[in-house]
Amino acid sequence: MSGWNASDIPDQSGRGAVVTGANSGIGYVTARELARAGARVVLACRSAERGGAAVDRLRAEVPGADVEFGALDLGDLGSVREFAGTWTGRPLDLLVNNAGVMALPYGRTADGFETQFGVNHLGHFALTGLLLPSLLDAAAPRVVSVSSGLHALANIDIDDLNSEKQYRRWVAYGRSKTANLLFVHELARRAADAGLVAAAAHPGYAATSLQARGAQMEGRKGAERFYEVGNRVFAQPAETGALPTLHAATAPGVRSDDFYGPRVMMWRGAPARSWRASWTVNDVAGERLWAASERLTGVTYEGLKG
C-alpha cells in the first residue's frame, strides 16, 4: 500500500459505480478517478445544477469519460427511492456512500430525522438497501462508506438517535460518522456469504466546502473565515483526501470491514489502515442500529442473513 495513489487504481472497464455527493470535494475526485480508470459512473447529487456542472467539468478533465448525473437527495427518502428505482435490472459493481454534512445548526430532513443523522447515515442506509439487489447481481460488488476521524467525538445514543434530548452539532456529527462505521461493520457481517465487500474510508483533513457550510447557513462570517484559513494552512487537497476512498473502492486485497485513512496521524498522506474507536466494532450496537435504521426508513435488506 506504500505511497498508493490514483495511478494505482486497477482497470475499471465494465464496472458501474454510483458516487453520492459527487459534485464537489472528495466525491468529485472519487467519481473522476473511477471514470478515468474506465468505470461508468453516476454522479448522484441533490442539485441538478451543481451535478450537471460537475459532469461537464469531469468530461472536460477526462475526455471520453462515461459519466452521468443522477438526482438524489439523501435528506428525502422519497428521492432515495426514486433514484434507486432508476437502477433496477442493471448490476451495480460499486456504491460509494460519500455525501455528507458537518456540524450544521439543528435541522430536520424531509422525513423528520435530525439532518446529520438523516443525511449521513439513514439516507445511505436506505440507498444501499434499495440498491442491494443490483449490487448482489454484480460479480464482485463493493460498498464504501466515507466516515471521519471525528467519529471519535461520540458513540451513538441508541435511545436518542435524532438528538432530541440535547443537540450539540459536533456530537451529532461524531455520532453520524460512528453510525457510518457501525453500518459497515454490520453490513460486512450480514453480507459475508453474499460476496459483497463493505469497507470504510476517511479523508483525514481535506480542504472542501464541508467545513464552512454550517457557518455560511448561519451567516457567521468570522467562523467562515476561520475555516477558510484552516483549510489553506492545515488541510490536504481533496485530490489526496479521496485516495483512501479510492483505495477501499478498487484495490485488490481490501477486506470487508476494513477502514482506510491517511497514514500520517490520520490527517494527511497516502492511504493506510486506520485506527477506529472500539465502539465502532461492537456487534450489539451494530445490530441495534441496523434494526432502528430499518424501522425508521422502512427499508429492509432482502437476501442477506439477519
Ligand X SMILES: NC(=O)c1ccc[n+]([C@@H]2O[C@H](COP(=O)([O-])OP(=O)(O)OC[C@H]3O[C@@H](n4cnc5c(N)ncnc54)[C@H](OP(=O)(O)O)[C@@H]3O)[C@@H](O)[C@H]2O)c1
67: β partners? 41
For residue 301, indicate whether it is catalytic: no
State yes or no: residue 23 binds ligand X (CB under 6 A).
Answer: yes
Q: How far is the CB of 194 from ligand X (least distance, A)?
A: 25
Residues of this chain, 134-173, that bind ligand X according to CB under 6 A: 146, 148
CA distances from 10 to 58, 132, 212 (A): 19, 24, 34
State yes or no: residue 73 binds ligand X (CB under 6 A).
Answer: yes
Residues of this chain, 242-301, that bind ligand X according to CB under 6 A: none
Which residues, 6 or more positions from 193, have their beta carbon under 8 angstroms from its beta carbon? Answer: 305
Q: How far is the CB of 149 from ligand X (least distance, A)?
A: 6
Candidate ranges 6-14, 18-26, 220-228, 281-289; the one touching ligand X (CB under 6 A): 18-26
Burial of 181 (0-12, 13-18, 19+ CB in 10 A): buried
* CB closer to ligand X out of 69 and 290: 69
For residues 259 and 144, give the distance between their C-alpha atoms in angstroms, rounded to a whole number. Answer: 9
Query: What cell does 119 get?
Result: 443525511
- Set 28, 106, 167, 173: catalytic member: 173
Q: Coil, helix or strand for 20?
A: strand
33-72 mask for ligand X (x: CB under 6 A)? ------------xxx--x---------------------x
* CB closer to ligand X out of 192 and 277: 277
Q: DSSP letters along 251-279, please?
A: -TT--TT-EEEEEETTTEEEEEE----GG
Q: How far is the CB of 96 from ligand X (least distance, A)?
A: 10
Category of 269 on φ-ψ map: left (φ > 0), alpha (ψ -120 to 50) or beta: left
Which residue ranges make up the site for ligand X (CB under 6 A)? Answer: 20-21, 23-27, 45-47, 50, 72-75, 98-102, 119, 146, 148, 202-203, 205-206, 208-210, 241
The residues annotated as belonging to the active site are 173
